[in-house]
Amino acid sequence: MDRRRFMQGAALGAAALSLPGLGWGQSPGRAAADFNASLRDQPWLVGWRDAALQTGVPLELEVQGQIPAGLRGRLYRNGPGLFSRADLRYRHWFDGDGLIQAWNIDQGGVQHRARFIATSKYRSEQATGRFTRPAAGTRVPAAKPIRNSDDLNTANTSVIEHAGSLYALWEGGSAHQLNADSLETLGPKIWREDLQGVPFSAHPLHDAAGHLWNVGVFGNNLLVWQIEQDGELRDIQRIETPFPGYLHAFSMTGPFLIFVLMPYVFDPREAGASYFESLHWQPERGCRVLVVDVQNGFKQRWYGLPAGAAYHFGPARQVGRELMVEACWSRNGKEMISPFAAEMRGISRRLDVGSSLQRIVIGLDNGRCYSETVRSGGQDFPVWDARAPSGSMFVLDDGDHSTSGCFRGISRIDLQRGAVDHFDYGDHCMVEEHRFVADPARPRPGAGWLVGTVLDWRRQQSGLSILDAERLSAGPLAQAWLPHALPLGFHGWFAATA
């Protein structure tokens, strides 16, 4: 098969993974009614409630505390924001239509605006008032046929700025370009005509020179994207993997790309099952780790690890002839296929996924690959100072000790000494990803701020929080609260301004 035909097949194949069926189990109307009834008794379920219609009108917020003098810019946040239309409520958190937010920070205060991302799917369903396109984790009755994966693209997972453009990301199809000021959707980013709808994941990475790297997964193939500093496509390479598996993100250091293929196997055992219903955890296969040397003809090295689910990674680095990277690891990958599926139906359920922070160590010469525990318990959404990948990383944690089952705290972990600094927002808060922002007045590595969002389910409000990255335990330097709650999102990006 030639390259162009393969790429077209990748776009169509990714879409086919979510073809709908008519089977349901629980009636869609009942699911919505059960959720609304449960919300009255379990107010933390507000994290999975639909956002009100967002028009992008800016809202000035009152600031509590003092915004640091050197902090200027916008925190962009992306995540699912719409789960219900007519009498149908989605059963899977990842199915919701993307809601993009911008929290503008300057010495004048904090301003917030939000919009739903106007994908082809969103525009079509907004016009009809009901869900009509297939979804990744929900069987949508009488869904319309689709042409490629962008027909079901929700653009709901992450957001990144590159070469002066802002992109909303989903892992199964095209990135969507947004107006960085108004948040209006400009449309899918077409890197090349034959690449529309080809998987472009939600976790691209910048290298030291400013190139953007990304991966897409299609069957037993990894598609490695290389985007120039000016935003033009440099290349896309296909790597055929000898093992079935799934990945959500990857890591890189120097010339090495690191991929951890988790032992999920796509096997549609029931006609009409959704993608996530057809994704089966097979721990006996173990994980496969692939290291690609992009400066040496894309040379591949394969390794093995015991089974685990690792969706997010910390900073990779090379130490001698070993590569090291931290992974937010779960032993029970079966439960990780549909996190918070019970909450989507209005049921609070404590998951035991055997979480820990693991350090993966990969020998470049001796073929060894193993993992060691850095910290037990659940941690996720790692961020770090890109200037010092061997220094500290920041993770959300304490979900094991919260009423909502969501993260309530944030920690800084010294990767060399193991020292931990921690702040607990309290049981009434559901903490979302915080981004690291370097302080221009403090050039030492790790000096800066963490800027992120929090949902206070007791007050039913979402807010912005700013902490000193070197003094987390001191608590927020400043906060600004919306008068209402927004649903929990996934990932963000901070764009600093002068």
Q: Which two tokens stand for residue 32?
A: 């919505």
What does the alpha-carbon distance between residue 136 and residue 91 come to, in Å, rounded to a whole number? 10
b/e map of 270-288 (b: 16 or more CB within 10 Å)? Answer: eeebbbbbbbebbbebbbb
Cite the annotated binding site for Fe cation by residue number.
203, 248, 312, 491
DSSP label at 171?
A: S
Q: For the chain, give the number of residues.
A: 498
Q: What is the secondary structure of 28-97 as a DSSP string?
A: HHHHHHHHHHHHHH-GGGGGGSPPPP-B---EEEPEEE---TT--EEEEEEEEEE-EETTEE-SSGGGSE
Dihedral angle computed from the Cα positions of residues 12, 17, 19 and 25, in that order, rounded to the nearest 10 degrees:
-170
Q: Are 354 and 331 in contact (CB under 8 A)?
A: yes
Q: Are 204 and 198 in contact (CB under 8 A)?
A: no
List all residues 6 or more positions away from 191 whose beta carbon is below 8 Å from its beta carbon.
Answer: 225, 227, 233, 236
Q: Are 83 and 96 in contact (CB under 8 A)?
A: yes
For residue 262, the tally of other CB atoms under 10 A from its CB is 25
List all residues 6 or more positions away from 315 whose beta carbon is below 8 Å from its beta carbon.
Answer: 251, 253, 325, 326, 384, 386, 389, 390, 393, 415
Nearest to 49 by CA among 68, 67, 32: 32
Could you write out the three-class secondary structure of 226-291?
A: EECCCCCEEEEEEEECCCCCECCCCEEECCEEEEEEECEEECCCCCCCCCHHHEEECHHHCEEEEE
Cite the annotated binding site by residue number.
203, 248, 312, 491
Dihedral angle computed from the Cα positions of residues 384, 390, 395 and 400, in that order, rounded to the nearest 10 degrees:
170
DSSP label at 457?
A: T
